[in-house]
Amino acid sequence: MPRGINNDAANFREVLEKGVILVGGEIVDNNSISLDDDDPVSVAIIVDVQGYGPHVGAICATQGGHIDSALQAADEILEEWTLEHYPDSDPEHFTETFDGIMWELTPQEFADAIKGTKAAEFIEIDEPEEEEDEEGVLEEGDDEDVPLIRISFTRITRGDSDDSDDYEEEHGWIDEEGVEFEPDESDIEDGMTESESIVTQAEKFLEDEGAVHASSSHFHPGVWYTTEYEQDFRTGTDEERSFHLKGFSPEEEAEIFKHVTRRR
């Protein structure tokens, strides 16, 4: 039974990283997802929930279309894959073992979330072209994004202490705009490059914020970092904060990954 539509990009990324092994996917109603289009991206993942996770699944997305079309297409892809790999499967049982998860995200949130994941192999992102002024020079504000780190949270509130499945989980943003990083003049005077200055500041920021876990044991662009869970003894709620890099080059992200994982 499909769940409600989620608007949490961090949760979507987490499912791609930890919750599902994608075996297929496609874009419905479009050839690609356009970052120039203001229409949101509706995305559905169908997973086969039999056995222990992570589970196999299929992903479909549509920009401006109805979420049901993405849900149906993902269901068909997973059913076809299952019958091909497990010919003795009974399609009538798929309604009991297939589960749907849905999100509605901005085009940029969707593009950032699938970057470096298996989903990027199935869904093409149409990147906007850089605009040039009359002299052929990029206009101010059209160059690469300023490197920043966005901060999200996961809060878990437990119910019956004797029931491990009795809890409520909440996801959201603490700072969706993000903390920006620019080269420090004193670092440049000391002989650092602008990139080295930015990386050093980002590493110190993550260290000061208590980010100690990487979302993956192997580096890839788009890895994010999390703190340990901390408990609010007044409410009993456990909170974990996550830090999402944006606008850093792959080389800069790799240096930050080495710094965080080296400290553990």
pLDDT of residue 220: 81
Backbone φ and ψ of 71, nearest 5°: -65, -45
pLDDT of residue 222: 79
Alpha-carbon distance of 138 to 105, in angstroms, equals 29
Q: How far is CA 218 from the centre of its chain?
A: 16
Neighbouring C-beta atoms of residue 247, cutoff 10 Å: 16
User: What's the token pair of residue 58?
Assistant: 């299929």
pLDDT tens per residue, range 92-113? 777 778 888 999 899 999 999 9
Residues of the chain under the 70 pLDDT cut: 1-3, 53, 128-144, 160-166, 263-264
Neighbouring C-beta atoms of residue 168, cutoff 10 Å: 10
pLDDT of residue 50: 80
Neighbouring C-beta atoms of residue 120, cutoff 10 Å: 17
User: Using an 8 Å Cβ cutoff, are 37 and 125 in contact?
Assistant: no
Q: How far is CA 101 from the centre of its chain?
A: 14
**DSSP 8-state code for residue 38:** -
User: What's the token pair of residue 213?
Assistant: 């876990």
| Number of DSSP helices (H) and strands (E) in the chain, helices first | 7, 13
Closest alpha carbon to 14 in 226, 259, 263: 226
User: What's the token pair of residue 2?
Assistant: 């499909």
User: Using an 8 Å Cβ cutoff, are 14 and 112 in contact?
Assistant: no
Contacts of 151 (CB under 8 A, 6+ apart): 173, 174, 175, 178, 179, 209, 241, 242, 243, 244
User: Using an 8 Å Cβ cutoff, are 151 and 173 in contact?
Assistant: yes
E-only strand ranges, 106-236: 125-126, 148-158, 167-180, 213-214, 225-226, 230-232
Alpha-carbon distance of 12 to 259, in angstroms, equals 26
Tokens 């979330």 locate to 113
The continuous run of DSSP H or E covering 240 comes out as strand 237-246
pLDDT of residue 235: 81
Alpha-carbon distance of 187 to 172, in angstroms, equals 34
pTM: 0.51
pLDDT of residue 95: 72
Residue type, 145: D
Alpha-carbon distance of 188 to 196, in angstroms, equals 9
3-state secondary structure of 185: helix
